[in-house]
Structure 1
Amino acid sequence: MTRLPGVILAGGRATRMGGGDKGLRSVAGRRLLDRVIDRLSPQCDPLAINANGEPARFADYGLPVLPDSLPDYPGPLAGVLAGLDWAADLGAAAIVTVAADTPFFPVDLVVRLQAAAGPSGLALAASRDETGKLWQHPTFGLWPVALRDDLRAALEGGLRKIVLWTERHGAGTAEFASDPFDPFFNINTPEDIATAEGLLA
């Protein structure tokens, strides 16, 4: 079975972390991006990084760096669009996206997203919080290349909330267990780094 391209979304500004690239922060002696690539590379091929600014800071990864194609940091959907444009040039039918600040995402993410895909081929990951409420994680998704022009038009029209667009296209939901902890725990603050190091220990 042909593996899908994977895109690591690293285009955010990391304001709660004091700026810079969260993916290049170290957690227990390894950069977050290294941990994310280790989990994604068995599931997807090829890989690319969505990031803005000087691409040379990621040079030692040897991966394509895809900037947002729209100005002013319109959010993760702009990174998805950049990934879809890249995948279209590869002749791929879809991509899978993951966040650069989430080191514990599931090792069966891609197959579960594919199994949950809605009629359009779109799917998002989800997990439950401590109250039992189901939360979608829209940076972890399966995105069909066929929807890229619709997504571009939506973003150019001002859309920023991912789930408004994914609901419009009947996205499926792949639910993942949150026991013993939420696999989509992401690192936004220095305190979160300490939490992640505790989970790794």
Structure 2
Amino acid sequence: MPHPSTLGVLLAGGLARRMGGGDKPLKTLGGVTLLDRAVARLTPQCDGLIVNANGDPARFAALGLPVVADTVPGFAGPLAGIVAALEWMERERPDMAWIVSIPTDSPFLPGDLVARLHQAREAAGTPLATARSGDQTHPVVGLWPVALLADLRRALVEEDLRKIDRWTARHGVAEAIWPTEPYDPFFNANSPDDLGEAEAVLARFPEA
């Protein structure tokens, strides 16, 4: 069943301390940047992509995608990126009502991510959906409706709320579940060691 039009949001605003600083999305895996892998994985599933990143947007110019900075100051975390993306969509793409957010350090994202998140949301009757693999939830990988933008911005600005699952629990969030074998589709490459582990996965499973 076709899912509603959805804007893909590549969250690239982290500080990458464990990776030694710099832009973690521009680190390479199998000769391809993590950001390019994320774009390739999400493009067929979405009706447009944007990058959420702070600082000079020119470093992502080669992608040819809009780069949207946080509108809430102080590096307020992933929720600030989601607010900025929802605001951008409300202004620039009023034909759409949903965004899907992904971290750009997850190189093995599933090809049915968006469809299965929408299915989980519809089956549960909730306005939000997130991914889970095994016994671990991934709050940054989720569906967000523009209808909840005002509430999310209020929580972030007035309540200084930073933890994603504290806010999603208020509204109801469904889970779409994936297995962790033969590899975890939501594996995070947070450090040089993680990148080495991801290279090993890619060597064993070139289609990953």
What is the TM-score of this pair, normalised by structure 1? 0.95
Counterparts of 1:136-155 in structure 2, within 5 Å, are 136-155=137-156
User: Matched residues in 1 for 2:198 and 2:152: separation?
Assistant: 33
Residues in 1 aligned to 2:85 and 2:115: alpha-carbon distance in whole angstroms: 19
The structural deviation recorded for 1:148 is: 0.5
The question of 1:107 aligning with 2:111 is answered yes
What is the CA–CA distance in structure 1 between the aligned matches of 2:84 and 2:183, rounded to whole Å?
Answer: 31
For residues 131-184 of structure 1, the C-alpha deviation after alignment (integer angstroms, 9 at most, x for no partner) is xxx221011101000000100000012101100001111011111111111110
Quote the Cα distance in structure 1 between the aligned partners of 2:169 and 2:5.
Answer: 26
Question: Aligned-residue CA RMSD in angstroms?
Answer: 1.0
Matching residue within 114, 127, 142 for 2:133: 127
Q: What is the match of residue 64 of structure 1?
A: 66
Pairwise mapping of residues 48-197 of structure 1 onto structure 2 (< 5 A)? Answer: 48-89=50-91, 90-91=93-94, 92-117=96-121, 118-128=124-134, 134-156=135-157, 157-197=159-199
Name the SS of the counterpart of 2:45 in structure 1.
coil
Alpha-carbon distance between aligned partners in 2 of 1:14 and 1:119, rounded to the nearest angstrom: 36
Deviation at residue 99 of structure 1 after TM alignment? 0.7
Aligned length: 196
Unaligned runs of 5+ in 2: 204-208
Deviation at 1:120, TM superposition (A): 4.3
CA distance in 1, matches of 2:182, 2:71: 38
Report the residue type matching 1:111 in the other structure: A
List, as ranges, runs of 4+ consecutive aligned residues in structure 1 with deviation greater than 3 Å: none
TM-score, normalisation: structure 2: 0.91
Q: Which residue of 2 aligns with 1:28?
A: 30
Any idea what SS the aligned residue of 1:184 has? coil
The answer on whether the counterparts of 2:101 and 2:141 sit within 8 Å (CA) in structure 1 is: yes
